[in-house]
Amino acid sequence: MQTNVGLLGYGTVGAGVAKIISLEDSLLSQKVGWPLKLARAVVRDLSGRRSFPAPPGLLTTDPSEVVGNPGIQVVVEVMGGLEPARTLVLRALEAGQHVVTANKALLAVHGREIFETAAQSRREVAFEAAVAGAIPVIRTLKEGLAANRIQSVAGILNGTTNYILTKMSRGGAGFAATLKEAQELGFAEADPTTDVEGTDAAHKLILLTALAYGVLPTLDDIHAEGITGLEPEDFSFAEALGYVIKLLAQASLNSGDGRLEVRLHPTMIPRGHLLAGVSGAMNAVMIRGHASGDIFLSGAGAGMMPTASAVVGDIVEIARLARSESGLSKPSLGWHSLKAETVKPASEIWSRYYLRFSVLDRPGVLASLAGILARHDVSIAQMIQKGPDAAAAGESVRLVMLTHSAPAKSIRAALGETGGKEWCRGPARLLRVEDFAQG
């Protein structure tokens, strides 16, 4: 007996999976109890260059040689994109095959349909590689922390943006120049849009929310903001205030109103916090369970071998279950069904804020600005003034404030008002501040 695996895709991740299954065959067969065999791999172009050469006869351009093939028990979707990945995954489940995927976009957008089909077919959809690469965060939430009510999940889920933010905090260069350098060094794609605008990390956050709370929000339900608006001086001010800037994904249950808060945005976090020390292309996740307390996981969030490590871990788990002949009864998300509950609108979420204003260097301006904030119930915890600004011929100064906690709608309303004042030189910059207080 053995478990036969079919790949949909033999690119970066697919070749890594093939490499582990081929080179670690005896290790894997010890762990499963019988051999894993790579049976077929679907690609678009048979003549493409492969970073781990495929044995003769493995590659095909015909997905039906994998999907619906009764000789293949596990279909590994590592082709990316929404179609034909969605159709092929659904067909595989309906045909009684288990599915392993690294495709966060597919699950974030079509997860409900895919998980429901898996449940009806009593088949598994495993997706450890879809969130934070090699880090076993899915299994930790589903199994290791199953006894817990999850209070919060916070993570750095995109290596490209973390690399850029780390560089900006150290080098003082602007966003565009740092992105270009990241592209030259292979830390950013030629088209970096989904990374720098936050879509990739938001897709992963949606999956973590589903695992932690049984709610699968859509991208429209959550506040997702990327890193394109950050400027070098925000990093200097953050440092002066004792913080670093990270693109932080957060899902939490508000203990006051019992509602779910899900958001992704550049966030100032205290320099001494574990997440602040996660640098370069690394990823990390911090989970707070009511019984476990804080759990911190960190590691490589992408790349051929780290991602393949997570994919093969899922294949091994499925092969073990198949071998035990217990049938597959455990639901893919660790939940029997997804709840319809919605997440709290971003405007109602409370946070501390960093606000940076450029204002005329004139008596009375500070009092006027403080008065506007006070009228919107925004109170100031700390302030720095810098300037006058040489570039503006000594006319304007920078005022940076850290606020106490306030709802986003109050901050927006206050900034709407300050923006209309003749002493205000350009739009204010805002960042959320997260101190990770025990709720």
Ligand X SMILES: NC(=O)c1ccc[n+]([C@@H]2O[C@H](COP(=O)([O-])OP(=O)(O)OC[C@H]3O[C@@H](n4cnc5c(N)ncnc54)[C@H](OP(=O)(O)O)[C@@H]3O)[C@@H](O)[C@H]2O)c1
The 3-class secondary structure across 297-316, one letter per residue, is EEEECCCHHHHHHHHHHHHH
Q: Is 103 in the site for ligand X (CB under 6 A)?
A: yes
Under the criterion CB under 6 A, does residue 283 sit at the interface with ligand X? no
**2 vs 307: CA distance, rounded Å:** 24
Mark the segment that binds ligand X (CB under 6 A) among 76-84, 230-238, 251-259, 381-389.
76-84
Query: Which token pair is 308?
Result: 């393949």
Question: Looking at 28, 67, 244, 302, which residue binds ligand X (CB under 6 A)?
Answer: 302
Q: Is 170 one of the binding residues for ligand X (CB under 6 A)?
A: no
- CA dist., res. 269 & res. 274, Å (int): 10
Q: In one letter, which amino acid is 26? A: S
Structure tokens at 126: 């495993």
The answer to whether 191 contacts ligand X (rule: CB under 6 A) is no
Spot the catalytic one: 204, 246, 339, 421.
204
Do 99 and 75 form a contact (C-beta atoms < 8 A)? Answer: yes
Residue with tokens 């560089």: 167
305 binds ligand X (CB under 6 A): no
The answer to whether 330 is a known catalytic residue is no
**Strands in 303-379 per DSSP E:** 350-360
Q: Which of 204, 229, 207 is nearest to 216 (CA)?
A: 207
Stretch that binds ligand X, among 79-87, 160-168, 340-348, 375-383 (CB under 6 A): 79-87
The closest alpha carbon to 173, from 116, 127, 232, belongs to 232
* Smallest distance from ligand X to CB 167, Å: 20
Query: Of the two residues 137 and 268, which places its CB atom closer to ligand X in the complex?
Result: 137
Among 23, 30, 44, 296, binds ligand X (CB under 6 A): 44
Residue 287's Cβ-count burial label (10 Å; 0-12, 13-18, 19+) is buried
**Least distance in Å: CB of 103 to ligand X?**
4
11 binds ligand X (CB under 6 A): yes
Q: Which is nearer to ligand X, 152 or 162 (CB)?
A: 162
Q: Which is nearer to ligand X, 169 or 307 (CB)?
A: 307
**Any idea which residues carry the catalytic annotation?**
204
* Contact residues for ligand X, defined by CB under 6 A: 9-14, 42-45, 48, 78-80, 84, 102-103, 129, 133, 302-303, 307
